[in-house]
Amino acid sequence: MKSIYFDNAATTPVRKEVFTAMKPYFSTYFGNPSSLHAKGLEARDAVEEARKLIAEILNCATDELIFTSGGTESVNLAIKGIAFARKKGHIITQKTEHDAVLETCKWLEKQGFELTYLNVDEFGLVKPEQVEKHIRKDTILVSIMYANNEIGTIQPIKEIAEVCRKHEVLFHTDACQAAGYLDMDVKNLGIDLMTINGSKIYGPKGVGLLFIKKGIEIEPLLHGGGQEYGLRSGTENVPAIVGFAKALELAQKEKVTEVQRLTALQDRLVSGLQRIADSKLNGHPQKRLPNNVNVSIYGVEGEAVLLMLNEKGICASTGSACSTKSLEASHVLLAMGMSHEMAHGSLRFSLGKHTKEKDISRLMKVLPGIVKKLRDMSPIKAEVRNG
Ligand SMILES: *Cc1c(COP(=O)(O)O)cnc(C)c1O
């Protein structure tokens, strides 16, 4: 039995074209981009070609792009880098951010920075007016994600960026989940800093970038050889950077058709799930990523469903990769006002490039039976039955 992978929001397989592009940079072109000989220049050229390619896609200059080891590092560089450059001040973020943002902000709070964590509505949305209301004289940065990794909700980042610009506050967006599906033009979006990574767009893991608009003062987190315009020391991960650029190029090229294809599959899955009684689609009905379906099923534990799906060869998730390690309810769903019970019964199916209609059909063939079995065993359900 072939397994079905519904966890593309956690990570995606490296696509063939990407792997092919990367391979020579492990062996033939193994040089250190900082070396002045031919081997070094080959590697340097590859990194700079990758940077140029990405700069065209994001509509920015090459020296506005810093390669990092992934989404987490880029977020840390953005938020701590700005905080350290300003030395003190107030930062605004919101409650459904990825832990990379939330934990960085919590740590900065301990260092003396002041933080505001904005509430979200029942769909997981932040309103630009909310951001504006909380901007103070000493606000140095606003960090609001482009699209949520658990529920797929797309934030109005263009409008939020406009508010920030009006008040001369820097705006960072964590766009790791958005890169394959949404507009990535930083000029059109009007943003100052943006994080993307390779592992969510069929590129390699352990590589990402931070876009930093020219003229913004930022402190590096890593000190050393001065690579990446002095903002990220350390020998560049050349194969990963080459693969990341290739992945982004392909994602950009295929965006329109892939969004259309996935939206149709998403609709199919959502209507299939509606046949399960006492279940609810989480996130925004329209403002959501085309590959995300997050559902709460009352009276079952998400983890129990996952294990039973896994036995049937179906890989899904309860939400973020981090929240599966602890059995705490998702901070995202709780922030949306969901009860602990409903949050514990949540499942995330994240579709991808390899998802076919027949995969959705197979899921819908087994899921109702699993839910019924678990509900029959569940004390909560018995309580509901008994009033
Ligand atoms: C995956 C992800 C990250 C972390 O990226 P890594 O490359 O794993 O460090 C940060 N933010 C969001 C929204 C993500 O989906």
What number does the ligand 1 atom closest to the CA of 207 have? 7
Same domain for 191 and 108: yes
The position carrying tokens 């090229």 is: 253
Point out the ligand 1 atom lying closest to the alpha carbon of residue 97.
13
Looking at the fold, whether 321 and 183 belong to one and the same domain comes out as: no
Q: From atom 3 of ligand 1, which residue's Cα is the shortest distance away?
A: 71
Ligand 1: atom nearest CA of 74 is: 9
3-state secondary structure of 83: helix
Distances (CA, A) of 376 to 53, 308, 317, 347: 55, 15, 22, 19
Neighbours of 9 (CB within 10 A): 28
Residue 93 corresponds to which tokens in the numbers above?
């973020």
Whether the per-residue pLDDT at 387 is higher than 50: the answer is no
Cβ neighbour number for residue 142 with a 10 Å cutoff: 28
Give the list of residues 6+ apart from residue 88 with CB closer than 8 angstroms, or none: 112, 113, 138
**210 and 295 fall within a common domain:** no
End-of-domain residue from the set 253, 275, 305:
253
Q: What is the mean pLDDT of residues 126-141?
A: 98
C-alpha 72 – ligand 1 centre gap (Å) = 6
Q: Strand runs (DSSP E) across the chain, as ranges?
A: 4-5, 65-68, 90-94, 114-118, 139-143, 170-174, 193-197, 208-212, 279-282, 292-297, 314-315, 346-350
Domain holding 236, by residue range, is: 16-253
Protein residue with least CA distance to atom 14, ligand 1: 176
Q: Are residues 191 and 265 in the same domain?
A: no
Predicted pLDDT of residue 319: 77
Distance CA 156, CA 140 (A): 20
**Same domain (yes/no): 212, 63:** yes
| 243 and 277 fall within a common domain | no
Which residues are identified as catalytic? 322
In this prediction the pTM is 0.96
Kindly give the distance from the C-alpha atom of residue 43 to the centroid of ligand 1, in angstroms, as a whole number. 27
> Is 384's pLDDT higher than 80?
no
Residue closest via CA to ligand 1's atom 5 equals 71
B/e letters for 290-324, b = 16+ CB within 10 Å, e = fewer, are bbbbbbbbbbbbbebbbebbeebebbbbbbbebbb
pLDDT confidence tier of residue 320, bands split at 50, 70 and 90: low
187 vs 385, residue with greater confidence: 187
Tell me, in angstroms, the distance from the centre of ligand 1 to residue 7's CA: 14
Residue 324 has pLDDT above 60, yes or no: no
DSSP H helices, the chain, are: 16-22, 38-58, 71-86, 99-110, 128-134, 157-166, 186-189, 238-273, 302-311, 331-335, 340-344, 357-377, 379-385
Q: How far apart are CA 51 and CA 60, in angstroms?
A: 10
> Are 21 and 123 in the same domain?
yes
Q: What is the pLDDT of residues 17-67, one digit of tens each?
A: 999 999 999 999 999 999 999 999 999 999 999 999 999 999 999 999 999
Q: Please indicate, yes or no, whether residues 361 and 351 belong to a single structural domain of this protein.
A: yes
Task: For residues 235 and 136, state if they share a domain.
Answer: yes
Name which residue leads in pLDDT, 186 or 329.
186
Question: At 260, is the secondary structure helix, strand, or coil?
Answer: helix
What local confidence, expressed as pLDDT, does residue 385 receive?
Answer: 52
Position 201 pLDDT exceeds 50: yes
Contact 255, 265 (CB under 8 A): no
348-379 pLDDT, tens digit each: 999 999 999 999 999 999 999 999 999 998 76
Q: Are 113 and 104 in contact (CB under 8 A)?
A: no
- Of 76, 177, 193, which is best to mutate to test ligand 1, by the most ligand atoms within 8 angstroms of its C-beta? 177
Which of 253, 282, 311 is the last residue before a domain boundary? 253
pLDDT tens digits along 270-296: 999 999 999 999 999 999 999 999 999
- Same domain for 186 and 271, yes or no, is no
> Amino acid identity of 148?
N
What percentage of residues in the chain have a pLDDT greater than 90?
A: 93
CB 104 within 8 A of CB 96: no
| Cα 33 to averaged position of ligand 1 atoms, centre (Å) | 26
- The number of distinct structural domains making up the chain is 2
What residue's CA is closest to ligand 1, atom 8? 71
Is residue 85 classed as helix, strand or coil in its secondary structure? helix
Of 206, 237, 253, the last residue of a domain is 253
Pairing of strands 65-68, 208-212: antiparallel
CA distances for 75 relative to 79, 125, 130, 328, angstroms:
6, 20, 22, 24
Which of 69, 47, 51, 71 is CA-nearest to residue 61?
51
Q: Choose the residue to mutate in 181, 200, 207, 330 for probing ligand 1, maximizing ligand atoms within 8 Å of C-beta.
A: 200
Mean per-residue pLDDT of the chain: 95
Per-residue pLDDT of 68-95, as tens digits, reads 999 999 999 999 999 999 999 999 999 9
- Rounded to the nearest angstrom, the distance between the alpha carbon of 318 and the centre of ligand 1 is 16
- Where helices occur in 99-221 by DSSP H, the ranges are 99-110, 128-134, 157-166, 186-189
Provide the residue type at 101 as one letter.
V
Q: Average pLDDT in the 217-236 region?
A: 98
Long-range contacts, stretch 322-331, CB < 8 angstroms, 24+ apart = 322/99, 323/150, 327/303, 330/150, 331/95, 331/96, 331/102
Residue type, 87: K
**In this structure, what CATH number is given to the domain that contains residue 33?**
3.40.640.10
Between CA 345 and CA 161 the distance in angstroms is 35
- Nearest residue (by CA) to ligand 1, atom 10, is 71
State which of 176, 196, 294 you would mutate to test the pocket of ligand 1, scoring each by most atoms of that ligand within 8 A of its C-beta: 176
Find the 197 Cα to ligand 1 centroid distance in Å: 7
Would you state the structure tokens that stand for residue 259, as one six-digit string?
């969004």
Report the half-sphere exposure of 334 (CA within 13 A, side-chain side): 10
Q: Which residues line ligand 1 (CB under 6 A)?
A: 70-72, 98, 100, 145, 149, 174, 176-177, 197, 199-200, 208
Flag whether pLDDT at 313 surpasses 90.
Answer: yes
- Whether residues 315 and 330 share a domain: the answer is yes
Q: What mean pLDDT is predicted for residues 189-216?
A: 98
CATH of the domain at 286: 3.90.1150.10
pLDDT at 325: 54
Q: Do 139 and 259 lie in a common domain?
A: no
The secondary structure of residue 329, as a DSSP letter, is: P
Kindly tell me if the per-residue pLDDT of 261 is higher than 70: yes
